[in-house]
């Protein structure tokens, strides 16, 4: 069956359609199996909670960055979509800049011979707010940077942890 035919059959919103009912039941089975797995596997619950917390942290950070908070201002859906996309772009740029700063500091510590623990790095969040001046002087510098930013951790295995005596 072609995808066009399948979509046409499912698109008529007929609850009497056998294909619609079959997919609805399949969805219910998948949802039940997933729920049972969540209840029986603590590791899966921890993973779901961690991913959910990351998404909520990003949304909280981007909401904090939004000037005017939840106020979008217009009833025009195109305008609202632009505001939301700009806000997410702004949040991603701020997160990228913070991640580059964290990378520079970790590489600098490793270059000086200090041990850098990857577990410690994993606890550092790029959603830092105290370094951002939301209502301050915003300067847009469109000139290219003098040197490319370092985007990787240059840590050798011997530098990751302090040598044990």
Distances (CA, A) of 26 to 35, 85, 145: 14, 35, 53
pLDDT of residue 33: 94
Q: What is the mean pLDDT of residues 72-100?
A: 84
pLDDT at 71: 61
pLDDT at 112: 87
Instruction: Supply the pTM of this predicted model.
Output: 0.60
pLDDT at 145: 81
C-beta separation of 38 from 45 below 8 A = yes
Residues 17 and 10 sit within 8 Å (Cβ to Cβ): yes
**What is the DSSP code string of 87-137?**
HHHHHHHHHHHHHHHHHHHHHHHHHTT----HHHHHT--S---TT--TTS-
Q: How confident is the model at residue 28 (pLDDT cuts 50, 70, 90)?
A: very high
């Amino acid at each position: 069956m072609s995808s066009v035919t399948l979509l046409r059959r499912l698109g008529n919103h007929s609850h009497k359609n056998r294909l619609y009912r079959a997919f609805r039941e399949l969805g219910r089975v998948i949802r039940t199996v997933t729920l049972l797995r969540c209840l029986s596997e603590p590791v899966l619950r921890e993973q779901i909670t961690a991913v959910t917390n990351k998404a909520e942290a990003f949304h909280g950070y981007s909401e904090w960055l939004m000037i005017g908070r939840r106020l979008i201002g217009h009833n025009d859906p195109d305008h609202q979509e632009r505001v939301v996309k700009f806000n997410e772009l702004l949040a991603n740029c701020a997160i990228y800049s913070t991640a580059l700063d964290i990378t520079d500091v970790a590489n600098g510590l490793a270059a000086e011979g200090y041990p850098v623990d990857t577990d410690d790095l994993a606890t550092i969040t790029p959603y830092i707010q105290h370094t951002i001046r939301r209502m301050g002087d915003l300067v847009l510098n469109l000139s290219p940077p003098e040197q490319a930013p370092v985007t990787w951790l240059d840590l050798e295995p011997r530098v990751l942890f302090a040598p044990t005596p």
